[in-house]
């Protein structure tokens, strides 16, 4: 599967600035990554017993 | 020994997606990954540099299934950015239009999922019911929004026009008349779902549910500070270190890396975890509906159609046909980030917009319902046999074109699908 962007459009995007959001430099450091994993694993273990939290 | 099963593209969905499932010897899913492979359109980038009036018109093209939701989220974001106070009648008309759209879109969803649980003998009648429901709901969207698909009369500052007394009566008569069919349809769908021999706990996950309003959407009930967006290449392969990455040690890791490079939707997190949004989330938060799983999704969706119809009848009574529906405003931005939050059929639709003092859009971003649901849906496939995984996905959210925002671009060779992900 391949994506092809129109070259003009692509250049326009490049010129206007790409909204890069990389994992490494986008607010999320290693400690945060660990919290995310912990949250997800903890929740998975209780999935049948507990009600979903409400946001 | 575990193996990976790939279902691509998944069927009976709007857009294209892939399910990559790690299963054990008995075929039980131990790790479910679901991701969009729908090509990117780059609509958020297209609106940058344009006048704010262009944004609702362009972003409603994100999806032909729920254009009302995107239009409303867009005008709400721009209203917020420009600090426009929408007149009360305009706001009520917006809400009526959204609730009519909710009924219409849930009916389309029932049409898509009917083959999963409606008996063959009853299928024809179910489709007839769906068509009749859609006809009446679409009428309301037409007369208030200007057009049912890609509505033209939902504008920055309010609604382009009010409705006449005659139209008000027609809406009330039509939706009141629809209640009987809606109740019958919901009862039938609930019966079919209950009778279907889905495994117990199918589609259950442990993630939180996110909802901001019972019938419209509220920016006050969501915190932008709690939201993070993660690139798919990081999310799907984040358990592997850079060193392991170089070694490409096993098949599982290769799969994760491949998914990360192919997925076209970012992963939004709320308070550092994926969430579910949509009819069950709203029912859970506002209507004390605590059931979980795929069956609960179908049930909550069906019941929400009645909830929306009741809201339309309640609001249409309050409409004053002589009242003003548009606020007077000038497009002089202050670079303030405007937030528009709408509870669409599939869930919480968040648009943000920034307008420059010269009156041009300088920043636009959408975090749409399916994007929220994508990581959670993968988790919901875990714990049951893989043959039910597509049923789980369709029960949650079979809509993908809105969720697609990413493409991989190699800066130097200008080739796509290479090194870096770009949000469009």
Q: Are B36 and B16 in contact (CB under 8 A)?
A: yes
Within-domain flag for A24: yes
**CA triple B385-B388-B391, angle to 5 deg:** 160
This complex has an ipTM of 0.74
pTM, two decimal places: 0.86
- B249 touching A, CB under 8 A? no
Helix B88-117 with B165-195: angle, nearest 10 deg? 30
Is B417 in Cβ contact with A3 (below 8 Å)?
Answer: yes
Minimum distance, in Å, between the CA of residue B318 and any CA atom of chain A: 31
DSSP secondary structure letters along B114-164 = HHHHS-HHHHHHHHHHHHHHHHHHHHHHHHHHSSSSS-SSEETTEES----
Within-domain flag for A8: no
- Choosing among A19, A34, A55, which should be mutated to test the B contact, i.e. which has the most B CBs within 10 A? A55
Within-domain flag for A12: no
- Choosing among B267, B272, B275, which should be mutated to test the A contact, i.e. which has the most A CBs within 10 A? B272
CB count, 10 Å around CB of A24? 11
The residue of chain A with its CA nearest to that of B208 is A53
C-alpha distances out from residue A28 to A37, B227, B229, B318, Å: 12, 12, 10, 48
At the second CATH level, the architecture of B3-423 is Orthogonal Bundle (1.10)
Within-domain flag for A13: no
Domain count, chain A: 1
Within-domain flag for A42: yes
pLDDT tens string, chain B, 424 residues long: the values are: 678 888 888 888 888 888 888 888 888 998 888 988 887 778 888 899 999 999 999 999 888 888 999 999 999 999 999 999 999 999 999 999 999 999 999 999 998 899 889 998 998 999 999 999 999 999 999 999 998 889 999 999 999 999 999 999 999 999 999 999 999 999 999 999 999 888 888 999 989 999 999 999 999 999 888 888 777 767 776 444 444 445 545 566 666 667 777 788 888 888 888 999 999 999 999 999 999 999 999 999 999 999 999 999 999 999 999 999 999 998 888 889 999 999 999 999 999 999 999 999 999 989 999 999 999 999 999 988 999 999 999 999 877 777 776 665 555 555 554 444 455 4
Nearest to A2 among B275, B382, B417 (CB): B417
DSSP strand pairing (B209-210 vs B276-277)? parallel
Residue B246: which residues within 8 A CB-CB, separation 6 or more? none
Domain hosting A29: range is 20-47
């Amino acid at each position: 599967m391949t994506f092809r962007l129109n070259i003009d459009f692509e250049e326009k995007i490049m010129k206007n600035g790409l909204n890069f959001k990389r994992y490494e430099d986008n607010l999320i450091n290693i400690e945060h990554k660990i919290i995310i994993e912990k949250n997800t694993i903890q929740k998975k273990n209780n999935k049948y017993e507990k009600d979903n939290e409400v946001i | 020994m575990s193996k990976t099963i790939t279902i691509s593209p998944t069927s009976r969905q709007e857009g294209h997606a892939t399910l990559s499932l790690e299963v054990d010897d008995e075929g039980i899913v131990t790790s479910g990954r679901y991701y969009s492979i729908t090509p990117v359109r780059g609509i958020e980038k297209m609106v940058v540099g344009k006048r704010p009036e262009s944004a609702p018109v362009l972003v409603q093209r994100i999806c032909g299934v729920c254009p009302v939701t995107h239009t409303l989220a867009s005008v709400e974001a721009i209203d917020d950015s420009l600090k426009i106070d929408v007149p009360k009648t305009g706001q009520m008309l917006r809400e009526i239009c959204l609730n009519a759209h909710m009924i219409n879109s849930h009916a389309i969803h029932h049409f898509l999922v009917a083959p999963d649980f409606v008996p063959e003998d009853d299928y024809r009648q179910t489709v007839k019911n769906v068509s009749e429901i859609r006809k009446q709901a679409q009428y309301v969207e037409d007369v208030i929004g200007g057009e049912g698909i890609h509505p033209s009369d939902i504008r920055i500052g309010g609604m382009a026009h009010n409705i006449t007394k005659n139209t008000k009566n027609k809406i009330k008569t039509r939706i009141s008349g629809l209640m009987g069919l809606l109740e019958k349809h919901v009862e039938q769908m609930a019966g079919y779902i209950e009778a279907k021999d889905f495994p117990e706990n199918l589609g259950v996950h442990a993630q939180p549910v996110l909802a901001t309003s019972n019938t419209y959407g509220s920016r006050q009930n969501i915190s932008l500070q709690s939201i993070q967006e993660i690139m798919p290449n990081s999310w799907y392969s984040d358990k592997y270190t850079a060193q392991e990455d170089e070694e490409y040690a096993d098949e599982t890791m290769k799969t994760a890396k491949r998914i990360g490079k192919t997925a076209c939707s970012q992963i939004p997190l709320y308070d550092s975890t994926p969430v579910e949004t949509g009819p069950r989330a709203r029912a859970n938060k506002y209507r004390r509906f605590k059931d979980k799983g795929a069956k609960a999704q179908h049930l909550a969706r069906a019941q929400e159609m009645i909830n929306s119809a009741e809201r339309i009848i309640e609001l249409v009574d309050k409409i004053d046909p002589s009242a003003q529906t548009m606020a007077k405003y000038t497009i002089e931005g202050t670079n303030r980030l405007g937030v528009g939050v709408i509870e669409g059929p599939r869930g919480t639709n968040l648009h943000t917009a920034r307008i420059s003092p010269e009156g041009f859009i300088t920043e636009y971003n959408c975090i749409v319902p399916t994007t929220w649901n994508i990581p959670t849906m993968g988790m919901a496939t875990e714990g049951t046999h893989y043959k039910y995984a597509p049923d789980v996905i369709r029960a949650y959210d079979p809509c993908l074109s809105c969720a697609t925002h990413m493409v991989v671009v190699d800066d130097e060779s200008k080739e796509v699908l290479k090194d870096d992900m770009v949000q469009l």
